[in-house]
């Protein structure tokens, strides 16, 4: 196999960056990964895993462990605010040569640990608590100095340092910034009642959902329209989330309110924003992937998934072409429409929810998007 690269630097140790490192290192590429967080500890509560995301995790080689430590499901329930069942929908398994579940969930730090273990297992040189200081592109490589005083020369630098990327600001200054969408999400980790055996949504003026993430726990999310992204004192988060849940008189939801005041709930509040950087996503020997170029809201439960997919496709193209620029252009061609769909359709779903718009349009977008995402990448 003649690859376009022999030595690669990955900047950012999130899911996209770790996937790129895994897929390259396991086939013999020398990979350095630097992550500014010395603890390599992701923020967040649980994460919903769509069928296509589970297919990508299978490609990475961690689906079995995710299934063991998380929770898999094949359908989900939709309720009224009072708790009346509106419909039970089957999730669509992705197209694959092997059976892949239609959906699931897992605690985000658990998924990150599984990923980081695999990243090291395949031989990635991981360096925590540092990032780049300077990057100079030359004809035959990229010279990088790091914040700890060390340096290296690489065939390719993969920028996967997230929605607020320093790499994007430094090397793609013409790229847009993340755009607030005036909707926020509250998340919490709760003990799972025995009657919650599948993901469930309650649709009212806002939206509440729960998703099992293990045999004992689930995570809850609550979407809230909020015109301004103001700071809220974390000490007030439990009471604020409980207040918002008051709009949903469903008895099951109300029995969960006391758990919000327990430290183990790990409540997370986050104003939402999205980002879609126009092509190209590369300049010479620097390429951006994941949230660095296509950060999305959670309405299609596909943000992490499309980032993982992008890293898989990038590795495939780097091993399919000896010419680096051809490989990077092919990567962009394969990823643009799929990533654009997730960002733009998620944004439309957000607008429908905020305005109380057509539930038929909302359902149609969900159905058509999931059908498309089930297709091979």
The CATH number linked to 357 is 3.50.50.60
Is residue 1's pLDDT more than 60?
no
CA–CA distances in Å: residue 177 to residues 133, 163, 169, 190, 339? 22, 9, 9, 34, 17
In a domain, 254, yes or no: no
Structural domain that includes position 132: 7-45+110-177+274-373
pLDDT digits (tens, 9 = 90+) for 218-260: 999 999 988 777 789 999 999 999 999 999 999 999 999 999 9
Which has the higher per-residue pLDDT, 356 or 109?
A: 109
Is residue 13's pLDDT more than 70?
yes
In a domain, 350, yes or no: yes
What's the distance, CA 223 to chain centroid? 17
In a domain, 251, yes or no: no
The per-residue pLDDT of the chain, averaged, comes to: 94
The pair of structure tokens assigned to 288 is: 């951006």
pLDDT digits (tens, 9 = 90+) for 276-289: 999 999 999 999 99
Supply the pLDDT for residue 204.
85
Is residue 208's pLDDT more than 60?
yes
229: Cα within 13 Å, side-chain hemisphere: 12
Pairing of strands 103-107, 71-73: antiparallel
Q: Sign of the C-alpha dihedral, residues 358, 360, 363, 368?
A: negative
In a domain, 316, yes or no: yes
Supply the pLDDT for residue 276.
97
The phi-psi region of residue 182 (left if phi > 0; otherwise alpha if psi is between -120 and 50; otherwise beta) is: left
Is residue 43's pLDDT more than 80?
no
Return the minimum-mean-pLDDT range out of 167-181, 190-204, 224-238, 291-305.
224-238
pLDDT above 90: percentage of residues in the chain = 84
87-110 per-residue burial string, b: 16 or more CB within 10 A, e: under 16: eebebbbbeeeeebbbbbbbbbbb
193 phi and psi angles, rounded to 5 deg: -65, 150
CA–CA distances in Å: residue 309 to residues 79, 200, 366? 32, 26, 20
How many helices and strands (H and E) does the chain possess? 11, 19
Q: What is the dihedral of CA 21, 160, 1, 55, to 10 degrees?
A: 70
In a domain, 267, yes or no: no
In a domain, 185, yes or no: no
Let me know if 358 is exposed, middle or buried by CB neighbors in 10 A (0-12, 13-18, 19+): exposed
Q: For residues 278 and 283, what is the distance between their CA atoms, to the nearest angstrom?
A: 13
Is residue 363's pLDDT more than 90?
no
pLDDT digits (tens, 9 = 90+) for 84-119: 998 888 888 899 999 999 999 999 999 999 999 999
What is the tally of structural domains in the chain?
1
Q: Sign of the C-alpha dihedral, residues 4, 293, 94, 64?
A: positive
The pair of structure tokens assigned to 331 is: 């990567």
pLDDT digits (tens, 9 = 90+) for 147-168: 999 999 999 999 999 999 999 9
Sequential DSSP letters for 311-364: HHHHHHHHHH-SSHHHHHHHHHHHHHHHHHHHHHHHHHHHHHHHHT--HHHHHH
State the CB neighbour count (10 A cutoff) for residue 267: 19
Q: What average pLDDT does this structure show over 47-71?
A: 96
The pair of structure tokens assigned to 290 is: 């994941």
In a domain, 21, yes or no: yes
State the CB neighbour count (10 A cutoff) for residue 16: 31
In a domain, 156, yes or no: yes
Q: What average pLDDT does this structure show over 56-63?
A: 98
Let me know if 243 is exposed, middle or buried by CB neighbors in 10 A (0-12, 13-18, 19+): exposed
- Contact partners, residue 235, CB within 8 Å, separation at least 6: none
């Amino acid at each position: 196999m003649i690859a376009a690269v022999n030595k690669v630097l990955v900047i950012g140790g999130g899911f996209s960056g770790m996937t790129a490192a895994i897929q390259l290192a396991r086939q013999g590429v020398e990979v350095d990964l630097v992550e500014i967080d010395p603890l390599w500890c992701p923020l967040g509560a649980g994460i919903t895993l769509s069928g296509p995301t589970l297919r990508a995790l299978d490609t990475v080689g961690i689906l079995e462990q995710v299934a063991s430590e998380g929770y898999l499901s094949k359908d989900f329930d939709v309720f009224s605010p009072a708790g009346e069942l509106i419909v039970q929908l089957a999730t669509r398994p992705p197209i694959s040569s092997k059976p892949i579940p239609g959906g699931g969930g897992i605690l985000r730090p658990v998924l990150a640990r599984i990923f980081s273990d695999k990243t090291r297992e395949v031989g990635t040189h991981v360096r925590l608590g540092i990032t780049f200081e300077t990057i100079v592109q030359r004809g035959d490589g990229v010279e990088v100095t790091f914040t700890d005083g060390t340096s290296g020369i690489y065939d390719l630098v993969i920028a996967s340092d997230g929605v607020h990327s320093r790499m994007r600001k430094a090397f793609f200054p013409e790229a847009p910034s993340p755009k607030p969408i005036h909707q926020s999400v509250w998340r919490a980790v709760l003990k799972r009642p025995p009657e919650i055996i599948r993901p469930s949504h309650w649709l009212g003026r806002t939206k509440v959902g729960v998703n099992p993430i293990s045999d004992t726990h689930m995570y809850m999310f609550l979407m809230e329209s909020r015109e301004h992204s103001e700071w809220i004192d974390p000490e007030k988060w439990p009471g604020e989330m409980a207040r918002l849940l008051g709009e949903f008189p469903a008895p099951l939801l109300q029995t969960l309110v006391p758990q919000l005041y327990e430290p183990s709930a790990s409540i997370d509040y986050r104003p939402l924003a999205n980002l879609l950087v126009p092509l190209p996503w590369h300049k010479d020997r620097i390429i951006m992937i994941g949230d660095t170029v296509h950060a999305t809201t959670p309405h299609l439960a596909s943000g992490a998934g499309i980032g993982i997919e992008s890293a898989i496709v990038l590795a495939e193209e780097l091993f399919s072409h000896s010419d680096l620029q051809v490989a990077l252009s092919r990567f962009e061609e394969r990823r643009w429409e799929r990533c654009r769909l997730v960002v733009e359709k998620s944004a439309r779903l957000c607008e429908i929810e905020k305005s109380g718009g057509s539930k038929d349009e909302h359902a149609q977008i969900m159905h058509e998007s999931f059908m498309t995402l089930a297709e091979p990448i």
